[in-house]
Amino acid sequence: MEPLRIWLAGRDLPTPPELTEAAIAGGLVIAALAIGWLAGRHLGSRISDLWEEKFNGGPQGLGPRMRLILQHGIAAILLAIIAAAWPWPPLAALGIGVAEGAAVAMLAVSVLRGLSIPRWAAWSLAAIAFTAILSSSIGGFAVVETILDRVGFQVGKRRLTLLSAITFGITVLLLFAAVRLANRLLSHTIATARGFDATQRLLFQKLASIAVILLAFFIGVDLLQVDLTAFAVFSGAFGLAVGFGMQKTIGNLIAGIILLMDRSIKPGDVIVVGDSFGWVNKIGVRAVSVITRDGKEHLIPNENLMTQEVENWSYTDRNVRVRIPVRVAYGCDLAKAQALMAQAAADSPRVLDNPKPNVWLMAFGENGVEHEILAWISDPESGVGNVRSDVLNRLWLLFQEAGIEIPYPVRDLRVREWPPAKDG
C-alpha cells in the first residue's frame, strides 16, 4: 500500500463518482479478462491444432502456447480499448493499468518463450512492459523516462544513459525474436512450396535468411538512430581485416551458394571426396555434412568441393553398377556356373531388374576361371558392400547345391635332395 499512498500524496480522496467509475472500470477489467480466458479456452486449442497442421509443429514452441497467446492477447487488446475509451480518474486508471500491464507482460513471455528466447530475457522484457504500461496509465511514464535518462555518462559527443541501454536491449531482443519467427515461417513456406526441388528449396531458404538478417540490421540501425558515419574512419581497416581474417569463411559461404545454384551437389547425393564416402545430409553455410555408412558425419568445407575432384554417384543418374569378382575351378561347368552367378544377383532384393545383371568372363587365371558379376542398384546411399555380401552369400549356397567348386591356391613342394641323416 505504500506506493499507492505516495501516488495519492497531495491528491484529494476519491469522490463517490470517482469510486463509481473505478467500480465500472473494475467490472470492465474483469469482463475483458474473462473474455480472454474464454477465447483461449474454446478457440486456443483449435488455433493450436490448425497451427500444428499448417506448419507441422514449426515454428517450434508456438503451437502449444497458442491458448495462452490468444488469451493474453485478446485481454490486452480489450484493456487497451477500455483505457483509451474514457478519461478515467486516477483510481480507475490504476486498476486498468495493472491489468493491462500484466496481460501484455504474460503475452510477451508466452511469445518469446515460444520462440525459444531465454527465460531471463523474456521475463525481463515482460517486467519492463508492465512497468511502462502501468506508469503510462497513471501519467507517470514521462517521470520514469526522465529519471532513467538522467542516469548515464558522456562518451565523446554521445551520452549513454540507462534509458538508452534499456531501449537498445529491448530493440535487439524484439528484432532477434522477429528474425527467428520470420526465418522459421519462411523456411517452412519454402519447404512446402511446389515446383522446387530439394536443392532450390535449400538455396532459397538460405537467401531468405540472409535477407531477413540484413533487413533486421537496417531496421535496428534506424530505430536506434546509430550514426554509421562514425565508423567511416575504421571502415577501410576493418574491411581489410575482414578480408584477410574471414577469407576462408567468405569463400566457403560463396562456394556453398554456388554449389546450390549449379546443383552439382545436392542433399541426398552419394559422393566420394578423398577418403570420405557417404551421402550428403546437409549443405551448410561453412561446410557440407556427409554421413558415412559407419554412421560418422564428416564436415567437408564447401571450398574443398569447389577445388578438389569430387566423385558424385548420383549427379545425373542414381543407378550405380556394382562389380563382384568370382573365381571358379577349371573342371566345373562354366555355363552353369555363369547362370548361377546371374541368378544370385537377380535374387538379391536391391539389385535392379533393368538394367539386368550381367556376368563377364574376365580371364583364365592361375588358380581358376575369373568372372565378374555386374549388378545395378538405385540406392547407393544404403551402401555397396552389403549388396556384394548378399550376392556372394546367395552364390555360395547355389554353388554348394550344384557342386561347383571355388578354387583356392594349391602349392606343390618338390625336394630335390634330402640332407644326409646324422648318425646317432
Q: Is the pLDDT of residue 60 over 60?
A: no
The residue segments making up the domain with residue 324 are: 320-402
Choose one of 312, 336, 365: the last residue of a domain. 312
Residues 285 and 370 in one domain: no
195 part of a folded domain: no
Of all residues in the chain, the percent with pLDDT exceeding 70 is 82
Residues 283 and 373 in one domain: no
Mean pLDDT of 370-395: 87
How many Å apart are CA 417 and CA 198, to the nearest integer?
A: 75
Tell me what pLDDT residue 310 has.
82
Mean pLDDT of 345-351: 90
Mean pLDDT of 208-230: 77
Residues 398 and 268 in one domain: no
Residues 36 and 147 in one domain: yes
How many Å apart are CA 34 and CA 104, to the nearest integer?
A: 15
Residue 373 sits in a domain whose CATH number is 3.30.70.100
81 part of a folded domain: yes
- Three-state SS for 19-39 is HHHHHHHHHHHHHHHHHHHHH
Which of these ranges, 242-251, 310-319, 348-357, has the smallest mean pLDDT? 242-251
- Would you place residue 391 in the very low, low, confident or very high pLDDT band (cuts 50, 70, 90)? very high
Residues 176 and 27 in one domain: yes
Mean pLDDT of 174-182: 84
Task: Give CA torsion, residues 334, 335, 338, 340, to 10 deg.
Answer: -110
**Digit-coded pLDDT (tens) for 2-20:** 444 444 445 556 677 777 8
3-state secondary structure at position 43: coil
Tell me what pLDDT residue 70 has.
84
Determine contact, residues 112/121, Cβ cutoff 8 Å.
Answer: yes
**Digit-coded pLDDT (tens) for 252-294:** 777 777 777 777 787 778 888 877 778 888 877 778 888 887 7
From start to end of 52-169, where are the E strands? 152-155, 158-161
C-alpha cell at 404: 561347383
- Estimate the share of the chain in helix, then strand, then coil, as percent rounded to the nearest 5: 60, 15, 25
How many Å apart are CA 395 and CA 372, to the nearest integer?
A: 13
Residues 167 and 64 in one domain: yes
Global pTM reads: 0.54
Residues 259 and 330 in one domain: no
Residue 31: what are its φ and ψ, rounded to 5°?
-65, -40
The length of the chain in residues reads 424
421 part of a folded domain: no
Residues 151 and 278 in one domain: no
Mean pLDDT of 42-50: 74
Residues 376 and 303 in one domain: no
Residues 112 and 145 in one domain: yes
Report helix angle 198-224 to 162-191, nearest 10: 160
42 part of a folded domain: yes
How many Å apart are CA 359 and CA 239, to the nearest integer?
A: 62
Question: Does the N-terminal peptide bond of residue 14 adopt cis geometry, omega within 30 degrees of 0?
Answer: no
Q: How is residue 155 annotated by DSSP?
A: E
How many Å apart are CA 241 and CA 215, to the nearest integer?
A: 24
Q: Give the other-Cβ count within 10 Å of 266's Cβ.
A: 19
Provide the domain count of the chain: 3
Residues 157 and 288 in one domain: no
